[in-house]
Amino acid sequence: MSKRTVRSVPLSLLAAVALIGGTSGASGALPSGALATGGRSSGTSSSGTSSSVPSDRRAHERTRAAMEALVRAGMPGVVGQARDGRDGHRVWDGAAGTADLGRPRAPRARDRFRIGSNTKTFVATVMLQLEAEHRIRLTDTVERRLPGVVRGHGNDGSAVTLRQLLDHTSGIFDYAADPALHKRLFERDFLHHRFDTYTPGQLVRTAVSHPPVFAPGRGWSYSNTNYVLAGMVIEKVTGHPYGREIRDRVLRPLGLRATSVPGRSAALPRPGGRGYIRFPDEPGTPFHDVTGINPTEAWAAGEMISTVGDLNTFYRALLRGRLLPARQLAEMLTTVDTGLRPAARYGLGISARKLSCGVTVWGHDGGIQGAVSTVSSVRDASHTAAFGGNALGVPFDTLALAEAEFCGTTR
């Protein structure tokens, strides 16, 4: 791309951190807190399934230390799971802090939590499946698939391709960065609006009330609007809710029983802990419990719920070609430079980062009120790791977790 304009991640907590390797407490909107939370750290050596083989506990000492550091920095609780070996049967489960500030207990690998922008990898997978079925092309324009939806204020859907939605090179404004909506979603006003329902059309109209960040294909800027539009394309092409397509094409075939697309449901399925938030003008104050929220604010950009185990299973299947033909998987893993530092590249719903030890990990980060998460995997999926934290507005250093798990180093 010539004359690239590169934008950093916008003030969107739906993204939390767009790519593996950021420090998330806030994505700029909610500054890092400094409350050190008590609680205990624990680690188990198996996933609780009869087919798992305990992983070497010593191999994960740095990972456990990185999780404990997040708790000292203010995160109430962190849960993680790593799988390694060709068959993935060597499993390590770790936890630090507490899953519930009111009734302290260690987080568990089977706890469900909101995965925020990790939803995008599922959505991109379905889009690429539709391409493999010749029902869409990545070169199709948004205007062709969603006539009249992206227009006005300099926006032109006939100039934006589906590929540019999926790799964030569309230039379309991130609706979550709209000042009025941002106040309702990520400041104290959220407590009065946490059960509000938003439609995809509303979110897109908010985005296109702003001019594009750059001309399509002339830069990179993380935008949740891109994936709301992708979800709308899935629904238009299939005639079904995008969540049903994810369920039928990904969740059921892989047996991901703990993963769901909640729609308007505000409840967090059990088992699970609590979810918290701290607002930018309240440093050092107690957390607000926001376990129950209406996730339509995120929709296809970040509404899903899962567990660390299901996320690892999804990545193993995805990167080993169980969900996509070779050509479509190659398309997903074709990346563009984001301009972010530390250096990261972004494909179609997935990112790549080279760690200090030379290992390249593929994955995504996510966040929504009450939860943050990150998933990483080597290319052949012989080593995967997923982590979740239960608060937004405090540090969640995803690069430190990846460096600890895949390199055995401490940031």
Per-residue model confidence as pLDDT tens digits over 62-87: 999 999 999 999 999 999 999 998 77
How far is 399 from 21, CA to CA, in rounded Å? 4
Strand partners, 42: 95
Range list of β-strands (E), 134-181:
151-152, 155-156
How far is 44 from 268, CA to CA, in rounded Å? 24
pLDDT exceeds cutoff 90 at 58: no
Q: 404 is written with which tokens? A: 């600890």
DSSP secondary structure code for residue 195 in this structure: T
Band of the pLDDT at 57, cuts 50, 70, 90?
low
How far is 124 from 166, CA to CA, in rounded Å? 7
Task: Please report the DSSP string for 238-281 in residue order.
Answer: HSS-HHHHHIIIIIHHHT-TT-B--TT--PPPSSB---EE--TT
Q: What is the pLDDT of residue 92?
A: 96
What mean pLDDT is reported for the chain? Answer: 87
- Looking at mean pLDDT, say which of 9-18, 73-82, 334-343 comes out highest: 73-82
Question: Could you give the count of Cα atoms lying within 13 Å of 155 in the half-sphere of its Cβ?
Answer: 27
How far is 272 from 263, CA to CA, in rounded Å? 18
How far is 163 from 276, CA to CA, in rounded Å? 35
Per-residue model confidence as pLDDT tens digits over 200-245: 999 999 999 999 999 999 999 999 999 999 999 999 999 999 999 9
Per-residue model confidence as pLDDT tens digits over 90-116: 999 999 999 999 999 999 999 999 999
Q: 82 is written with which tokens? A: 């790593």
Which of 167, 80, 36 lies closest to 387, judged by CA? Answer: 80
C-alpha pair distances (Å), 132 with each of 142, 326, 351: 18, 10, 21
pLDDT exceeds cutoff 60 at 53: no
Per-residue model confidence as pLDDT tens digits over 365-381: 999 999 999 999 999 99
Per-residue model confidence as pLDDT tens digits over 270-316: 999 999 999 987 767 789 999 999 999 999 999 999 999 999 999 99
How far is 13 from 29, CA to CA, in rounded Å? 7
How far is 110 from 308, CA to CA, in rounded Å? 7
